[in-house]
Amino acid sequence: MRYKLTLEYDGTNILGWQRQLDGPSVQEYLETVLQRLSGRQTEIAAAGRTDAGVHALAQVAHMDFDTAMEPWKIREAFNAHLRELEAPVFVIDVEPVSSDFHARFSAKGRGYIYRILNRRAPSVLRQNRVWWVPVPLDADAMRQAAVYLLGNHDFTSFRAAACQAKSPVKTLDRLDIDKIDDEIVFTVEARSFLHHQVRNMVGTLKLVGEHKLQPEDIKKILEAKNRSAAGATAPACGLYLAKVIY
């Protein structure tokens, strides 16, 4: 049986989704539990490889399991073992899927949220959950700039040097910027993203919010097709994988 898992995790003290040799990962925690339950090593695949420090509200993974079980029993069994391991990850939903379902390759889109805490005082309760920017940001200017990023573009200027994507051309379907109390929240959706694309866009839009760049400068940065033309990469702590669309 193949099952689809929906996961929530805190990326603060883990090295992202993918199994690593030098520290814990979401994949390692889940595969450890699956081995306990099934008695054999089995790989669990995810919709996307989140980096160290990045959180997830609804990451999706799939696994194959020899024994048919009710989904809620799988969820409860996983979470019991994850609590025992003191893992910062829980399974929030399980559902059976067809054998040709693949968490990554069946996905039609992905959605991320990025949170900036924009106030003079830092936050204890939101530490490692937001990017604290103490200087005032102009959300309206950032919205004007975001328009230039929507649609189909060569995003080389917002691509990490280590990105393994075959092409820098992506289609950005959504980039909303909302001021919610003392936070500025970015909601970003596309079929797929380049490595660090969201964080690099946020880091550049933050410069627009500080009036260090003008909104129309974003068009010039895109056309430059040069990573050095854009702003610094925003910290991982503010980024959340919010949904995967199938």
Calculate the dihedral angle through the C-alpha atoms of 205, 206, 210, 216, rounding to the nearest 10 degrees: -10
Q: Report d(CA 26, CA 30) in Å as an integer.
A: 6
Residue whose entry in the numeric block shows the structure tokens 């054999």:
40
**Residue whose C-alpha is closest to residue 44's, from 2, 93, 11, 73:** 2
Nearest to 242 by CA among 153, 182, 176: 176
Which residues are annotated as catalytic?
51
Stated as kind and residue range, the H or E segment containing 12 is: none
CA atoms of 158 and 230, how far apart (whole Å): 7
Buried/exposed 75-105: b ≥16 CB within 10 Å, e otherwise: bebbbebbeeeebbbebeebeeeeeebebbe
Please work out, in degrees rounded to the nearest 5, the angle formed at the alpha carbon of residue 183 by the alpha carbons of 181 and 187: 115
Helix axes 71-84, 26-38, angle to 10 degrees: 120
